[in-house]
Amino acid sequence: MTGNRTKAGKARFGADAMAPATDTLPGVFPREMGPNAMAYLQEVIDSGLGSNMIQRFTDYLAEMHGRKYCIGTTGCTQAIFAAMIAMDFEPGDEIIVSPISDYGTIAGILLENYIPVYADAAPGAALIDPDSIEQRITDRTRAIMVVHKLGLCPDMARIMAIARRNDLIVIEDVCQAILAKCNGQIAGTFGDLACFSFDAEKTCGGDVGGAVLTDDPDIFKRLEQRVPGRGAVTEPGFGRVYLNRGFALQIPQCSAAVTLANLEILPPQVKQRQATAAALDRLIDDIPGLSSYNVPDGHTHSYWMYGFIVDPDAFTCTVDQFAQQVEAAGIQAAGLGRYYLLADGVPFLRDQALARQFPYSQPPASYDYYPDSYTGDAVPHARDFLERWVRWFWTEKYDMNHVDLMGRLIRDIAERHRR
């Protein structure tokens, strides 16, 4: 992203900050809002903030995924934090994490003083490699945090088998992949817990919002007590007694109202994203030197982001220059996503680990953090992928004419720089 095209820019300048460089291609904003959004908001207002909107939102999301329990939060960062609070691991316990993600995936891990251990991606892929997970398991490993990056699940059958064999909890970060599927099963229904985002620019935007889904009644009880309950129980004759660390992470009623209305229109929007992205894949694969992201058999991509892979040897320009030209041609926010490599993007962890500061001071820190666990050297496949991958936000507003235009723009750049 360039200039003000950041979350901070959008907060300050509104949707104009996220406007596309041309008026030919639509941008992500303004989002289409579900037809019931205003009625649901009105209900919240008319009830004097006494509505049951949060319950209706959580029931809807749980039912949509066929899961038993749901807690609404103010974002996916907070959903993951809530999941971490509910786990009751020990400080210094290790959680194996996908290497390519947003800081929100690990923030809750760090706040609970657990240790994120990055597994590598599969070669040529953005998703965690089950073999690498197995290599990272130690006697301190307690959980696997699987990120369904871009809109795509990794091999969940293998990951769940590894987890069960090693008695590990699986948390799915579904932030980017609502309604993606793996062998017919929907994202967010594999792990012990699944965390969602309804941030304004996500596939289902609800302004701020998130959720945790689970089928486990004990996990749900802990989540309920620590998120809406903030860690307290009420003792007769005394009042609130705080039995655990809780935190004010609950989704507000207005966000629940907007998100509920937008969930109601989500399935056809995802279908539209899939149809247009598949059409662009065909055009990209027809351009020598470029290739579409390989969606493995049995997987259904829900396309929060679209991207293609550039063979750097095929062109006279660098991959960065290629991406800059894609954005300059009018494809909003196209660029490389190097910052998604958490091992490089979160350097304070490296400093903390090298200095053996808490929780890295905890005996026994069973994983050898020194010298390169918190650099891209630890996850070379993930790093290599991000060096060659040009991506941008996909939107249900794209139609086949937009796809044709994008295909032509990208082909033109490729031909101008062909080696």
Ligand X SMILES: Cc1ncc(COP(=O)(O)O)c(C=O)c1O
Residues in contact with ligand X by the rule CB under 6 A: 75-77, 101-102, 104-105, 147, 173, 175-176, 197, 199, 210
Q: How far is the CB of 354 from ligand X (least distance, A)?
A: 26
Q: Could you say which DSSP state residue 121 is in? A: B
Helix residue spans in 137-235 (DSSP H): 156-165, 217-226
Q: Which is nearer to ligand X, 57 or 315 (CB)?
A: 57
Q: What is the DSSP letter of 75?
A: S
Q: How far is the CB of 404 from ligand X (least distance, A)?
A: 29
Closest CB to ligand X among residues 194, 287: 194
Comparing CB distances to ligand X, the nearer of 25 and 175 is: 175
In this chain, which residue has its C-beta nearest to ligand X?
104
Q: Which is nearer to ligand X, 304 or 398 (CB)?
A: 304
C-alpha 126/C-alpha 119 separation (Å) is 12
Task: For the CB of residue 211, give the shortest distance to ligand X in the complex, in Å.
Answer: 10
Nearer to ligand X, 110 or 290 (CB): 110
Residues 6 or more apart whose Cβ sits within 8 Å of residue 212: 70, 71, 73, 79, 82, 83, 193, 194, 195, 196, 223
Q: Are 170 and 143 in contact (CB under 8 A)?
A: yes
- Measured N-to-C along each axis, helices 253-264 and 266-285 cross at an angle, to the nearest 10 degrees, of 60
* Pick 101 or 325: Cβ nearer ligand X: 101
Shortest gap between Cβ of 63 and ligand X (angstroms)? 21
Q: How far apart are CA 300 and CA 393, in angstroms?
A: 17
Closest distance to ligand X from the beta carbon of 164 (Å)? 24
Minimum distance, C-beta of residue 25 to ligand X, in the bound complex (Å): 22
CA–CA distances in Å: residue 155 to residues 116, 185, 252: 21, 11, 34
Burial of residue 9 (number of CB atoms within 10 Å: 0-12, 13-18, 19+): middle
3-state secondary structure labels for all residues of 223-280: HHHHCCCCCEEEECCCEEEECCCCCCCECCHHHHHHHHHHHHCHHHHHHHHHHHHHHH
Closest to ligand X by CB, 102 vs 281, is 102
Report the nearest approach of ligand X to the CB of residue 199 (Å): 4
Helix (H) or strand (E) holding 310: strand 305-310
> 129 or 199: whose CB is closer to ligand X?
199
Q: How far is Cα 188 from Cα 204, in angstroms, rounded to an integer? A: 15
Please, which residue, 197 or 373, has the CB nearer to ligand X? 197
Element (H, E) at 194: strand 193-197
Closest distance to ligand X from the beta carbon of 314 (Å): 30
Q: C-beta of 81: minimal distance to ligand X in Å?
A: 9
CA torsion sign, 330 to 333 to 337 to 339?
positive
Q: How far is the CB of 7 from ligand X (least distance, A)?
A: 8
Amino acid in position 24: T
As a whole number of angstroms, the distance between CA 352 and CA 114 comes to 13
Strand partners, 232: 242
Distance of closest approach, residue 318 Cβ to ligand X, in angstroms: 26
Cβ nearer to ligand X, comparing 37 with 195: 195
The span from the CA of 190 to the CA of 172, in Å, is 8
Beta strands in 12-111 (DSSP E): 69-73, 94-97
Nearer CB in complex with ligand X: 194/413: 194
